Chains A and B, each alone.
Chain A
Amino acid sequence: SQQGEEDPQALSIQEGENATMNCSYKTSINNLQWYRQNSGRGLVHLILIRSNEREKHSGRLRVTLDTSKKSSSLLITASRAADTASYFCATAMPSGGYQKVTFGIGTKLQVIP
């Protein structure tokens, strides 16, 4: 079963616009991570936000975490055609002495030049 669920499943925007993707999860987590996957490639880690953090920035990326609502959002500002990719959230939670990481099914972002 999926712990994280991204919304929307697909998003198409014009270059220069902002893109917002959301992730909801069901149980308490230690951290939440966002990854990008370009077509035919492996996932690339973008940003990790811990459960005691509310917001984190990295370049044009802004991630927020609301543990009371069990949700996170990824904002990409001033999007570029090169941002076209699938974006996944992943949640890490303790499981038998190990941190279990569960990925969502992703948001497919298309940035139109």
Chain B
Amino acid sequence: NAGVTQTPKFQVLKTGQSMTLQCAQDMNHNSMYWYRQDPGMGLRLIYYSASEGTTDKGEVPNGYNVSRLNKREFSLRLESAAPSQTSVYFCASSVAGGLGPQHFGDGTRLSIL
């Protein structure tokens, strides 16, 4: 029972490069989320998908795009990476939005030089 799986776990990019962070959940959850965690700032929501086929911007969406590929998978893309996007990225899922607990992956540690 894997829960929420994120790949890769670590990544180093150069400024201007692009990459996609992958997330998959096996709990049949409807809602999925992407957060970034920076020191002293807690978790900030980048994008979320309330249900399959829908995506919406969160608090800090600039520089990111997302795709809800199917009910299981929710990917986050950086089109042109910037040093300000150096962070730890977490994917989470929940049964139905904020009415219940979120289940988190172990994160992707991304450094942009």
**Contact residues of A with B, CB < 8 Å?**
2, 30-31, 33, 40-45, 48, 88, 90, 92-93, 98-106
Contacts and interface: CB of A to CB of B under 8 A. Distances in A.
Name the 10 nearest CB pairs between A and B, nearest first.
A99-B98, A42-B104, A92-B98, A45-B101, A105-B42, A101-B98, A103-B43, A99-B97, A43-B104, A42-B106
Contacts of A90: 102
A94 B62 CA distance: 23
B50 A33 contact: no
A81 to B, nearest CB: 21
B81 to A, nearest CB: 22
Interface residues of B, number: 23
Q: DSSP majority for the A interface?
A: strand
B99 interface: yes
Contact of B4 (A40, A42, A93): A42
Given A98-B50, A98-B97, A99-B97, A105 B102 contact: no
B41 A105 contact: yes
Contacts of B103: 45
A48 B106 contact: no
Interface in B22-81: 35, 40-45, 50, 56
Nearest to A103: B43
Given A43-B43, A43-B102, A101-B98, 17 more contacts: A2-B42, A30-B98, A33-B101, A42-B90, A42-B92, A42-B106, A45-B101, A45-B102, A92-B98, A92-B99, A98-B50, A101-B97, A103-B35, A103-B42, A105-B41, A105-B42, A106-B42
A88 B106 CA distance: 16
A106 B44 CA distance: 13
A56 B56 CA distance: 33
Nearest to A99: B98
Contact of B107 (A42, A48, A101, A103): A42
A99 B103 CA distance: 16
Interface string B76-113: 00000000000000101000011111111111000000
